Amino acid sequence: MLLGRYIPGNSPVHQLDPRTKLLGCFYYIGIVFLANNWITYALLFVLTLGLLPLARVRLGFFLRGLRAIMFLILFTVLLQLFFTTGGHVWWQWGWLTVTSKGVLNAVYILCRLVLIIFASTLLTLTTQPLGLADAVESILKPLKKIHVPVTELALMLSIALRFVPTLMDQTTKTMNAQRARGVDFGSGGPIKQLKSIVPLFIPLFVSAFSMADDLATAMEARGFRGGDGRTRYRALAYHRGDVVAAILLVAVTVVLIVLRTH
Partner 1 sequence: MEPVINIEDLSFRYRDAEQDALRHVSMSIQPGEWVAIIGRNGSGKSTLAGNIIGLLEPERGQVTSGHVTVSGLPLDDEHVWDIRDHVGVVFQNPDNQFVGATVADDIAFGMENRAVPREEMHERVAAALTAVNMSDFAEREPARLSGGQKQRVAIAGIVAQAPDIIILDEATSMLDPAGRREVIDLVTQLQHERHMTVLSITHDLSEAARADRIIMLAHGEVADVGTPAEIFTRGHELADNGLDVPYPEQLKAALRGRGIQVPNEYFTEKGLVDYLWTLRSTM
Closer of 147 and 225 to partner 1 (Cβ): 225
Tell which one of 16, 114, 133, 245 touches partner 1 (CB under 8 A): 133
Report in angstroms how near the CB of residue 244 gets to partner 1 at its nearest.
26
Closer of 84 and 174 to partner 1 (Cβ): 174
CB 102 within 8 A of CB 82: yes
Helix, strand, coil share of the chain (percent; to 5):
75, 5, 25
**Distance between CA atoms of 37 and 23, rounded to whole angstroms?**
25
**Distance between CA atoms of 19 and 138, rounded to whole angstroms?**
8
Report in angstroms how near the CB of residue 53 gets to partner 1 at its nearest.
26
Site for partner 1 in 45-74 (CB under 8 A): none
Can residue 231 be called a binding residue for partner 1 (CB under 8 A)? yes
Closer of 205 and 233 to partner 1 (Cβ): 233
CB 138 within 8 A of CB 236: yes
Site for partner 1 in 206-225 (CB under 8 A): 210-211, 214-215, 217-225
Q: Per-residue string for binding with partner 1, 156-195, x by CB under 8 A? A: --xx-xx--xx--x--------------------------
φ/ψ (deg, to 5) at 96: -90, 125
CA-to-CA dists, residue 173 to 34, 179, 195, angstroms: 49, 10, 19
**Distance between CA atoms of 90 and 158, rounded to whole angstroms?**
54
Site residues (CB under 8 A) for partner 1?
Answer: 129-130, 133, 158-159, 161-162, 165-166, 169, 210-211, 214-215, 217-225, 229-235
